[in-house]
A and B are shown apart, each in its own frame.
Chain A
């Protein structure tokens, strides 16, 4: 039986939790093995967890499985000198094996520790370069190649600040809505919140010029937000779905306006979606043109490059749609309604970010 492998954490994983109970086992072993080897009082059973056996138990025929008693050992060895020798040899062997295992285990711990330090350093470096790490550190999504693009690095840093500011504004909106404030104060809060969203669209426009695939991938957002991604951001129709339940009383005109807005928003969204499908289709055709399998692709790649320029326009157009949807809601609603709507919207995205974080850490709880 290969007992060695069952004790150790595989080197491919930084398993911080599992070795803890093993360390307790080693602690006991050292207490009993100081000087080691020749001591007759080394009880074999401390080295062996209940269901696992060391190799040396196979050597002794008269050791019963389980816990041999101290008195039995002394009694039997005083009468049989060669048994003494055999038992000493067994102990020496067991202690030697134990030392080897300890050495290997400590080496593993050292390697893991070094790896952890290295990862932390890389993370720090990436942070300094302006790489925004989402709430749940989902290491599989860290695309380090992006930090090479200064436009993208700048965007990620700005986005980190944007989120901080967004969280502050959400708190302020909450306070302001629960307190008694004048409409003027409320209006300025609403204006700030709107401007903040428009600022994001401006940032995204610059980032799209730097690397449109990056913006489209949503890698700068958390994983749950990415699930709902539509052309580099949220769906304008989703925005309306999130907002509308929060308006208790609406005038007939408001109801009509909102109804029209929902319809026109959906139509515009559908039109853009179909345009994107066409773009994918023509791009695929372009790349696949000519003979495949002949090893030449420069002309196809070049013409595809031209088509990819259109992707930037789509991202900008999608953001324009988001901008206009927000703008129209602002026009239709009263100031107080708009404040409540913006709070609801902000909190919705906060919840998505929290969901991403919880999801990413769900396997890290010690069982």
Chain B
């Protein structure tokens, strides 16, 4: 889906969330702790919410939200993010986008 393609290929870390989703919130907190400012798209406020959800699932996200993209590439949902982080592979991925401050 074009919209998803466009939004996901923005620079940096992009996360598709739903305002009601608390796991999405947890993932956002994690990136914040890693000194990254992700771009958040709350799809439940978008009129094309259903389409976006289907598109995200089709791309290969295990759950539609949260869907994390880094540098235009799909990283995955909460499971994938956590696995990457514990194996030490997440930080190298997001290094270009980490804030130097604090």
Contact = CB atoms under 8 A, between A and B. Distances in A.
A254 to B, nearest CB: 13
Contact of A267 (B34, B79, B87): B34
A260 interface: yes
A195 interface: no
Interface residues of A, number: 28
Contact of B30 (A257, A260, A268, A320): A268
Interface stretch (A215-223, A271-279, A288-296, A334-342): A271-279
Nearest to A283: B22
A278 B22 contact: yes
Among B23, B33, B34, B63, max chain A CB count under 10 A is at: B23
A275 B23 contact: yes
Interface class of chain A by DSSP: helix
Contact of B82 (A268, A279, A331): A268
B93 to A, nearest CB: 13
B20 A282 contact: yes
A257 B34 CA distance: 18
A321 interface: yes
Contacts of B82: 268, 317, 320-321, 324
B86 interface: yes
Given A271-B30, A320-B82, A328 B25 contact: no
Contact of B78 (A257, A317, A325): A317
A107 B85 CA distance: 68
Contact of B29 (A274, A317, A324): A274
Contacts of A317: 23, 26, 78-79, 82
B21 interface: yes
5 interchain residue pairs of minimum CB distance:
A275-B26, A271-B30, A279-B22, A324-B86, A271-B29
A310 interface: yes
A124 interface: no
A264 interface: yes
B67 interface: no
13 contacts: A264-B90, A265-B86, A267-B33, A267-B85, A268-B82, A274-B25, A275-B25, A276-B26, A314-B23, A317-B78, A317-B79, A325-B86, A327-B86
